[in-house]
Amino acid sequence: MCLAIPGKVIKIESSVEGLQTAYVDFGGISKHICISYVDVVPGDYLLAHAGVALCKVDSEEALKTLEDFKTISDFIKKDETRY
């Protein structure tokens, strides 16, 4: 099972193999992602799996999802302090 986290496209690049790639920020973790199969520009959000962009996602929905993940993370961290 895979949990997709929205990533923000920071910069479009090209790889040696001729595939188009982008530098994508996933909430503080940045990765190079193949974007040859989706149409994105810097500032767009996408979902990726195994280093390949699956789809572009609405920016508003992406930001809501990231906020939900932060809420969950904060709750887990708070709960861990009880033990």
pLDDT value of position 16: 64
What does the domain layout of the chain look like in residue ranges? 7-80
Question: Would you say residue 3 has pLDDT above 80?
Answer: no
Q: Compute the mean pLDDT over every residue in the chain, rounded to the nearest whole number.
A: 89
18-52 pLDDT per residue, tens: 889 999 999 889 999 999 999 999 999 999 998 99
Note the CATH architecture for domain 7-80: Roll (2.30)
More reliable by pLDDT, 79 or 18: 18
Q: What does each C-alpha distance from 4 to 17, 19, 22, 64, 76 come to in angstroms? A: 25, 22, 17, 14, 19
More reliable by pLDDT, 67 or 79: 67
* Cα–Cα distance, 33 to 82 (Å, whole number): 38
More reliable by pLDDT, 11 or 17: 11
Residue tagged 């199969």 (tokens)? 37
Q: What does each C-alpha distance from 56 to 11, 63, 68 come to in angstroms? A: 15, 13, 19
